[in-house]
Amino acid sequence: MTAGRGAQRLDKWLWCARLFRTRRAASDFVEQSSVRLTRHQKAQRVEKPGFTLKEGDEIAFALGDSLMIVRVMGFAERRPSPAGAALLMKRIDQL
């Protein structure tokens, strides 16, 4: 986990957090699905994989049959182990 960097591309973060098997799959998902970002109590739809996430952002998206809401807790330069990936996010809700 990188403490010094305070931002990262959405597609790379989704891949590093091990929510998608490939970065391409994460990129395609963002372009084709509805991803909602909440920053400073303001919500917006994100459609571009290159959107810059910051620590503390909350993202919501449907993955399969469940709605996932996660808070960005950190970033990684390389894809970490599953244990390391768990440190990148905090699940807020899973319906």
- Condensed to tens digits (0 to 9), the pLDDT of residues 19-61 reads 999 999 999 999 999 899 999 999 999 999 999 999 999 999 9
Q: Which burial class, exposed, middle or buried, applies to 36 when counting CB atoms under 10 A from its CB (0-12, 13-18, 19+)?
A: middle
Q: Which residue has the higher pLDDT, 59 or 65?
A: 59
pLDDT tens readout for residues 5-22: 689 999 999 999 999 999
How far apart CA 14 and CA 37 sit, in angstroms, is: 13
Calculated CA dihedral for residues 83, 85, 87, 89, nearest 10 degrees: -140
For residue 94, the model assigns a pLDDT of: 53
pLDDT band at 3 (very low <50, low <70, confident <90, very high): very low
Mean pLDDT of 67-91: 95
For residue 85, the tally of other CB atoms under 10 A from its CB is 17
Q: Where are the alpha helices (DSSP H) in 1-95?
A: 10-16, 23-32, 82-86
Half-sphere CA count of 74, side-chain side, radius 13 A: 14
